[in-house]
A and B are shown apart, each in its own frame.
Chain A
Amino acid sequence: MKQVGVTKFSIQNLLGPIIILILLTHFVGGASTSLQLITQFALCLFVMVLALQVFVGNSGVLSFGHGAFALIGSYTSAILTAPVNIKDNSLAMNQLWEPLVSPQVNVYVSLVVSAVVSGLVAGITGSLLMRLNGLAAGIATFALLGVAYNVFFNNKKIGPGSQALPGVPWITNTWILLLLAVLTLIIVYFLNISWIGRTLRATREDAMAAPALGISIFKVRLIAFTISGAIAGLAGGMYSHVAGTFQVQDYYLEFTFVTLSMLIVGGSASIWGALVGTFIITAVGQVLLMMEQDIPVFGIQFQIPLGSRAVIIALTFIAMLLWRSSGVTNGKEFRIPKLKRIS
């Protein structure tokens, strides 16, 4: 199976997804309060899927470890912005390590810090993990997620333990989240057409030929893993500010599965695929949720039994894979559809 990827700058490849993202945010997010919240969460998830696209999509190596980076980003951002009196009194933070109690920064600064911290962790762990190849690499990143989850869940000095961490300041303005998402999209786009993206895809297509051409697989994968870890950290930070709270369990298996399936349903080789995948999975989930609660969808009322939503989402996902294993977009970037002339 040959996958594709852009190498040359093309204005429609870049602007297409951005315009569609803005339109979706404007029309869907503006429709009602509940849809606004869903749009905000979807924007965070989109940033996360972009993070996965940079590494998983370009290198072809599965990573289950990005949940760990999102978790670290989320926690960093939450701990830097939660008010001190909440830190002293909440169950999640009352045993916090002393130096972590007093720092207090602006929400936006905290997002930058969380990206930097996650990027650093990704860089350090990546310098070990990226020596591995193939399936071993995937399982090893899984070990990373396992360690992060285990430590944060049990150690209340540096993590929140099993409790939800309260009092994280909200970002309620959808446009700020949209701006962050668009900025990330632009960064990822230029990364994908740069030498990093191109060499990384070369290692994906042929792990024998790429080194023969002078590409160090370890080096390009490490660079991509670090950047992608930083973006995942940003996504985690955004997520905790939209939810206003944060729990370790939020970033475990289900999160990993949902974000990876968004990437793969859309088509892991392109940014456009990341957007389409995030939209499809979010939309299907939302429509089914409304059906479960017996709320009419587009004026049609159709009830499904409680609890069947997750089954249908996962079945949809499998059906998509059976139908088109390289994703709905086939891994291609956005293009304006050519209209066929009617003769």
Chain B
Amino acid sequence: MVQSILDAISLGGLYSLAALGLGLVFGVMRLVNFAHAELITIAAYTLVLTTQFPLVISLLFTVIITVFVALLMEFSIYRRLRGVNPAIMLIASFGLSTVLQRVYELMFGALPRSAVVAPFLRGDFKIAGLSITISSVITIVLTITILLAMGYLVEKTSLGLQLRAASADFKTARLLGVRSNRLISAAFGLSGVLAACVALILVIQNPQISPYYGLNITILSLVGIVIGGIASLRGAALGGFIVGVVLSSLNTLLGNGRVYAYSWLFILVLVILLVRPGGLLSKGTELERV
């Protein structure tokens, strides 16, 4: 029971990190970056393929490479699509996602690559007669740390202020002196860092990396940012958290029926959207041409 609750919280935290990565980019340029999945995948590959180095070095590599790929996306493709209908940008990111999946397949092979990352984080320990897996505790600690750091960055720093301003109204923010290119690059870079964090946690739990590794979590966090309220970063994090907790609880509660967990989750999402079309944290209804 305690383990299930911890699992639910840790999955929720993980999904909120992924949702935050998507939400950052959406906020500054109205782009739903489906290729975020491939940032998580490349980070996971890097982690698994650099296990011969100490963990810190390997992590550093991972962050650098992921941020590099994220910036590459922005410079090569998204920068040229700025101002285009968001629906078209979404489809373009779908295309980019396919490109990267196939490139990974060519580079690393279609079969899963695996290696033990951070072996000391596996196994379980006992507290008051309850057996608890180390990874779920570590996940929660890591997630809370990262969320606090992100919270500080978004709420207290100048960059965070600019990000929030741009999310609220990009045009006005530009008029007030926010440099759009720099800000958008920063948002992409941050989403890369977040993708690397997500990958680290995922790899500890499941070190079988295939070219489609990041797809599942990205689709679900996408759903999360919509139910949380796409217009705000808090909404994105909250939505991701809800999706993770619900999914984990469904998996525990449904027993043999857990193959239908996704169906129930999606039905719940539809219900939430019907009650609050703008998301849980929205203020009134906004019309958006997508």
Chain A residues near B (Cβ < 8 Å): 1, 60-62, 128-129, 131-140, 142-144, 146-147, 150-151, 154-155, 204, 207-208, 257, 260-261, 264, 305, 307-308, 310-311, 314-315, 317-318, 321-322, 325
Contacts and interface: CB of A to CB of B under 8 A. Distances in A.
Interface string B16-31: 0000000000000000
A261 B32 CA distance: 16
Contacts of B290: 60-62, 134-135, 137-138
A308 to B, nearest CB: 7
Give the residue among A136, A305, A321 with the most B Cβ atoms within 10 A. Answer: A136
Nearest to B85: A1
B99 interface: yes
Contacts of B103: 311
Nearest to A315: B99
Given A134-B287, A139-B223, A207-B287, 17 more contacts: A1-B85, A132-B273, A134-B286, A138-B87, A138-B90, A138-B290, A140-B226, A140-B269, A144-B266, A146-B219, A150-B259, A150-B260, A260-B94, A310-B98, A311-B106, A321-B84, A322-B80
A147 B267 contact: yes
A318 B89 CA distance: 10
25 contacts: A1-B85, A60-B85, A128-B270, A131-B277, A133-B277, A133-B285, A134-B288, A135-B86, A135-B288, A139-B222, A139-B226, A143-B269, A146-B219, A146-B266, A147-B262, A147-B263, A147-B266, A151-B260, A207-B287, A261-B95, A264-B91, A305-B106, A321-B88, A325-B81, A325-B84
A154 B258 CA distance: 10
Contacts of A208: 287
Could you tell me the dominant secondary structure of chain A's interface residues?
Answer: helix
Nearest to A128: B274
Contacts, number: 134
Interface string B245-279: 00000000000000110110011011001100111
Contact of A307 (B81, B94, B105, B285): B105
B210 to A, nearest CB: 15
* Shortest 4 CB-CB contacts between residues of A and residues of B: A134-B288, A143-B266, A314-B98, A134-B290
A151 to B, nearest CB: 6
A200 to B, nearest CB: 14
Nearest to A313: B98
B289 A321 contact: no
B262 A136 contact: no
A257 B98 contact: yes
A154 B260 contact: yes
Contacts of B289: 60, 134, 204, 207
Nearest to B90: A62
Contacts of A151: 260, 263
B263 A146 contact: yes
Contacts of B263: 146-147, 150-151
Contacts of B55: none
A314 B226 contact: no
A318 B223 contact: no
A257 B106 CA distance: 21
A271 to B, nearest CB: 19
Contacts of A142: 219, 222-223
Contacts of B178: none
A318 B95 contact: yes
A138 B26 CA distance: 15
B47 to A, nearest CB: 24
A128 B277 CA distance: 11
A136 B99 CA distance: 26
Contacts of B80: 322
A154 B259 contact: yes
Nearest to B223: A139
